Structure 1
Amino acid sequence: MTRTILLVDDDQKIRTLLKTYLEKNQYEVRLAHDGASFMAEFERFRDEISLCILDVMLPDTEGFALCQAVRRRSDVPVIMLTASAEETDRIVGLELGADDYIGKPFNPRELLARIKAIHRRSGQERSQTPRYFRFNGFTLDVLERSLIDPEGAASALSGMDFQLLKLLVEHPGEVLDRSRLAEVTRGRDLGPLDRSLDVQVSRLRQRLHDDGKQPALIKTVRGSGYVFATTVSASHAL
């Protein structure tokens, strides 16, 4: 799985060196040369970025300000780069939400080790499951286990309702058979006369304002199961 790193540094040699080195180690690297270009890249590719590397001293701003801006928008990991030997710079960076700090000059192998350690700690090596799934004006927050309606009101989902909706939004357009849905929501298969799954689907349709007689979102596939018949977008940030 390719992970994307966004790097900002005003030194072209450093940018080129790190891009070449990290790409050899199976990372995709996007580059910026100042604060403005960094923020433009960050906003454009925010959902793809797994880590940011910020130089402290930039022509138009400080890396500290960029770190604050990132933290207001996302919990993506941040590594600060600095040529300063001041301990206070490291402390300030960490207080503003940076995950690690490395001084210049540095060995690219050390930076790579720091990146891998942060990815392990954040769980991104194990899972890239997004937090938010958006469809038809609704947003499912898988961390809070809540459903946000088109008006912005959030409501908690019960265990089985949450598991069912999560499975549906993760597989839009895919026919999910009844046995698979039952295994995920109940941990067991359904008996031939067990209608509990149908009741649960009906309840979820009501929450999504989906007409039970002519559903547009959760459609029944006779003899098979159900399909989530809408477009779903996923992201790590709201």
Structure 2
Amino acid sequence: MSRAPLVAILDDEPEIRRMLALALEEAGFQTTAFGRATEFEAALKRRAPDVCLVDLGLPDRDGLAVVHRLALESGAAIIIVSGRAQVQDRVTGLELGADDYIIKPFDPAEVVARVRARLRKGRAESVPATQTAHFSGWTAHFDRYLLVAGDGAEVAFSHAEGEVLRLFLESPRRLISRAQMQESLGGAAGESFDRAMDVRISRLRTKLGEDPRNPTLIKTIYGAGYIFLGEVEWR
């Protein structure tokens, strides 16, 4: 019998932690909750959660720094749950590696639905037996969130960047529109999603050593979307 997915909750408000834990446990999830980032990060070393719900207003650490570290070091899906409602806050959170952003106050049922959606997407991505792709002198290890160049140099990528890279590598030499990206990657369409995608693609180009003025692998087709021009082999 498979275990129930584990959701880690990081929020400095005890009532929020209790409300989220109750809703998630009633929906069949396991939960673990923390009020401080230091306790949360220590617990992650003992057991890796499937999903992390992270508040940005923490007493001992910048919440965005926690999100960025999780994106680089953890394979968990990351959902920010915050009272910061400005578009720039949402964009920054997504840029730093969050997979979704929920604004307080919220309906606990919405959080449960978003968690389920992220887990469904994660299971769909894990269906292929191969987690390694080879292209243009690079090897992408999706199980380790790592790019390896031909000379052996290693470059880490975040969970969010990996979603975009996988989308390109699974559909090489095919135009991918913004609408297709939004449908595949989830999230609300609009300015914040578009800007987050622009930033993720820019960071991927930098990590792949692309000339930002004339990229050769990830090409922008203005007004239409993007196209990945490399040859890809999955192993």
Distance 1:8 1:143 in 2: 25
Instruction: Percent identity, please.
Output: 32
Mapping of residues 73-152 of structure 1, within 5 Å? 73-123=73-123
Aligned partners of 1:10 and 1:58 also within 8 Å: yes
Q: Against the structure 1 CA distance between its residues 114 and 36, is the aligned structure 2 distance closer, same or farther, given a 3 Å change threshold?
A: same
Give the partner amino acid of 1:53: L
Provide the alpha-carbon RMSD of the alignment. 3.1
Q: Against the structure 1 CA distance between its residues 45 and 21, is the aligned structure 2 distance closer, same or farther, given a 3 Å change threshold?
A: same
Distance 1:74 1:17 in 2: 25
Q: Give the deviation of 1:61 after TM superposition.
A: 1.2
Aligned partners of 2:71 and 2:78 also within 8 Å: no
C-alpha offsets along residues 120-179 of structure 1, whole Å, 9 cap, x if unaligned?
Answer: 11117977x9x8xxxxxxxxx8969xxxxxxxxxxxxxxxxxxxxxxxxxxxxxxxxxxx
Aligned partners of 1:119 and 1:125 also within 8 Å: no
Aligned partners of 1:54 and 1:63 also within 8 Å: yes
Residue 25 of structure 1, aligned match among 24, 27, 32 = 27
Distance 1:64 1:20 in 2: 25
Distance 2:69 2:143 in 1: 22
Aligned to 2:50, the other structure's residue is in SS state: strand
Structure 1 length as normaliser, TM-score? 0.51
Stretches of 4+ aligned residues off by more than 2 angstroms: 124-127, 141-144
Unaligned runs of 5+ residues in structure 1 are 132-140, 145-238
Distance 1:124 1:63 in 2: 29
The structure whose Rg is larger is 1
Residue 45 of structure 2, aligned match among 40, 43, 49 = 43
Aligned partners of 1:32 and 1:41 also within 8 Å: no
Look up the match of 1:62. Answer: 62
Unaligned runs of 5+ residues in structure 2 are 132-140, 145-235
Aligned partners of 1:8 and 1:54 also within 8 Å: yes
Pairing 1:53–2:65 present: no
Distance 1:117 1:30 in 2: 20
Q: Give the deviation of 1:93 after TM superposition.
A: 0.4
